[in-house]
Amino acid sequence: MISFRNFALRRGERLLLSDVDLALHAGWRVGVVGRNGTGKSSLFAAVRGEVEADRGDLDLPNRVRVASIAQELPSLPDPAIDFVLGGDAAVAAVLKTEAEALAAEDWEAVANVHLRMAEVGAYDAGARAGKLLHGLGFPAETHQRAVATFSGGWRVRLNLARALMTPSDLLLLDEPTNHLDLDAVLWLEQWLLKYPGTLLLISHDREFLDNVCTHTLHLHGGKAKLYTGDYTSFERQRSEQLRLQQITHEKTQAERAHLQKFIDRFKASAAKAKQAQSRVKRLAKMADTEAVRAEREVRIDFPAPVKLPHALLRINDGRCGYATASGEAVILDNVGFGLEAGDRIGLLGPNGAGKSTLVKTLVGDLPLLAGERYAHPDLRIGYFAQHTVESLVAGTSPIDHLRELSPTVATQAFRDFLGKWSFPGDRAFESIDGFSGGERARLALALLAWLQPNVLLLDEPTNHLDLEMREALAEALSDFAGAIVLVSHDRHLIGLVSDTFWRVADGVVKPFDGDLDEYATWLRARGNVGELKAPAIAAPPAPAVASKPAAAKANPHKLEKAEARVAGLEQALADIDAALSDPATYSNAAKAAELGQRQATLRADLERAEGELLALYETA
């Protein structure tokens, strides 16, 4: 149990939380929600022991094992799977000891270390690490790649995998779905539902919170209140509380007005002086109540397009990819994709499969390798890329960014426009260097809206947005008259906005006949969610290649044979492990040496066989 008693926390001069009294019990999965800046990450830092409470106590059970996602991005020469295995310090240490004993051909030490390996669960550690990597979207061929060769977003995933690998009683996850595609989010949900410890989860993805959490901890106005149930249940309960609070406030205000009216009328009357004084005392004793303020202050509005032709944009027989020095890197082939006024299309599929490539081709940033791109003369695109927020110019203001787009427009017009996007008054002239990630994302969306596009191409627009902003964005997109193509791991957003879905995977783009629930079911049926099998994804930072011809894909007999080979090797290894763990083996040095060498050979064979099996899973 985690217990907060009269707990208070500051950040600099600012009081984040005060008078927190609550208990979180073992096995709970608690979603920690609240606006940006309310102290969610600071609360996690306090639980990790990184910051001290300014007042009160935070009690954790003795010897509780805490795991969390590292914030720094590693740049190491270690293979990805070894980095993930390092999350379990005991396993990493015993595997290192085993490797040293084998290298020294010290078979007595090998036998001893095998006893320790059984104790710490090291025999299946590699398989567990491989499952984590595959579930989070890393194909088998990337497991031995150096951590330093992955891009920043993929290193964030490695940090998440390492945290999940760490033995823990308490798991702290701060925005774990950022940098994940929808396939990986669905897999992570299934993993967390099986996690036996206590989970504290910060997320702005309401579907994720709904599917994972048993309780919700709401941080608001310096207070923390615990609700039973998922995020939707929390919203329902809080809405009812606010309704009752407003009724109580209005009733109290009416009673106050009635008392004050009596006092004002009779305070000078000798006959009524006693009653008037009584009401003065009663008025003074009445508990004050606060009026309910609007929970949502942010509004987003995309102006109507200047022109809205029916047929806006189309790709016919397209081949999408990159021209390289050695030829072409084909990501998607035979693409037929069109946009008409009013279309709302959500793109599904794993990271690396080509969703961003398709969007860049629609924008025109990537020329087609073959085929035709047709754009209406009145086409006006608003493009939000994954790097858009980071590409805002440091040291400049929102006004400066608008002036770059429209140099001749009057400053007052800019100020009026930015005011509607919650950059009022002097905020329009402030440097963005002091803006939060959410404020920068809001500015990036405002710059799109200024262009009055008739097509919105949005590639993960929610990574920096809190729940309030996501709700506002969903409402604005639902009212947008033009066409939308949306890539997002936020199922609530993509489900509200999209009318149709297209799946991008295996080198092709084709309609998906179903909704997001059916997509999740379809993924599970393919073994991509919660299983060892992984999505067919190209290596993260490297250009993807054209999908394999159908004839090269695995047949059931080949798959069955590969599975049988892996099972046989695993059994042979288990037999050798048992023999090496037998004290009788110690007295026969020759036998121990022979078993040790046989074990090393079998492990190498098993690693190759597992790689071949996973490759077959990916093409099945």
Burial class from Cβ neighbours inside 10 Å (0-12, 13-18, 19+) for residue 357 reads buried
Is residue 345 within 8 A of residue 313, CB to CB? The reply is no
Give yes or no for residue 160 having a pLDDT over 90.
Answer: yes
- Please, which pLDDT band fits residue 611 given cuts at 50, 70 and 90? low
Examine the fold and report which residue of 139, 167, 195 is the final residue of a domain before the chain moves on.
167
HEC secondary structure over 40-67 = HHHHHHHHCCCCCCCEEEEECCCCCCEE
pLDDT in tens, 106-159: 777 777 777 777 777 777 788 888 889 988 888 888 898 898 888 778 888 999
257 occurs within a structural domain? yes
294 in any annotated domain: no
Q: Is the pLDDT of residue 539 over 50?
A: no
The pLDDT of residue 613: 66
Q: Give the integer Cα–Cα distance in Å for 435 and 259.
A: 47
Does residue 363 surpass a pLDDT of 60? yes
**Which residue type sits at 421?**
W
Scan for tokens 């994302």, then name that residue.
Answer: 441
Average pLDDT over residues 244-260: 69
Residue with tokens 């032709």: 309
**Averaged pLDDT of the chain:** 81
Instruction: Look at residue 406 and tell me if it is in a domain.
Output: no
Q: How confident is the model at residue 254 (pLDDT cuts 50, 70, 90)?
A: confident
Lowest mean pLDDT among 9-13, 117-121, 411-415, 450-454: 117-121
pLDDT at 516 over 50: yes
pLDDT at 586: 52
Domain identity same for 276 and 316: no
Total-model pTM: 0.67
- Cα 46-50-52 angle, rounded to 5 deg: 60
Lookup: tokens for 181: 């595609």
pLDDT over 90 percentage in the chain: 25
Shared domain for 264 and 326, answered yes or no, is: no
Residue 586 is assigned to a structural domain of this protein: yes
- Per-residue pLDDT reduced to its tens digit, 549-596: 333 344 556 767 777 787 787 778 777 766 766 656 656 666 766 776
Residues 244 and 321 in one domain: no
Q: Are residues 269 and 139 in the same domain?
A: no
Has residue 88 been placed in a domain?
yes
- 160 within some domain: yes
Residues 248 and 139 in one domain: no
Give residue 274's pLDDT: 62
DSSP 378-391: T--EEEE-TTTTTT
Domain extent, residue 282, equals 235-288
pLDDT at residue 140, rounded to an integer: 85
For the beta carbon of residue 549, count every other beta carbon within 10 angstroms: 7
| Averaged pLDDT for residues 396-409 | 92
Number of domains in the chain: 4
Higher pLDDT, 294 or 198: 198
Q: Which two tokens stand for residue 379?
A: 């086409």
Per-residue pLDDT tens digits for 432-466: 888 877 788 889 999 999 999 999 999 988 877 87
Residue 401 lies inside a defined structural domain of this protein: no
| CATH of residue 318 | 3.40.50.300
pLDDT value, residue 105: 74
Residues 186-196 have pLDDT tens digits of 899 999 999 99
Place of tokens 């929970």: 295
**pLDDT for 391 beyond 90:** no
Of 251-255, 287-291, 487-491, which has the strongest mean pLDDT? 487-491
Residue 78 pLDDT greater than 70, yes or no:
yes
**Residues 502 and 584 occupy one common structural domain:** no
In-domain check, residue 189: no
Q: Which conformational region is residue 203 in: left (phi greater than 0), alpha (psi within -120 to 50 degrees), or beta?
A: beta
**Whether residue 353 is found in the same domain as residue 463:** yes
Same domain, 316 and 278: no
Asked if 336 and 467 sit in the same domain, the reply is yes
Clarify whether residues 485 and 386 are in a common domain: yes
- For residues 457 and 514, state if they share a domain: yes
Q: Above 90 in pLDDT, residue 375? A: yes
467 and 597 housed in the same domain: no
**Domain boundary residue, one of 167, 199, 216:** 167
Phi and psi torsions of 5, nearest 5°? -130, 115
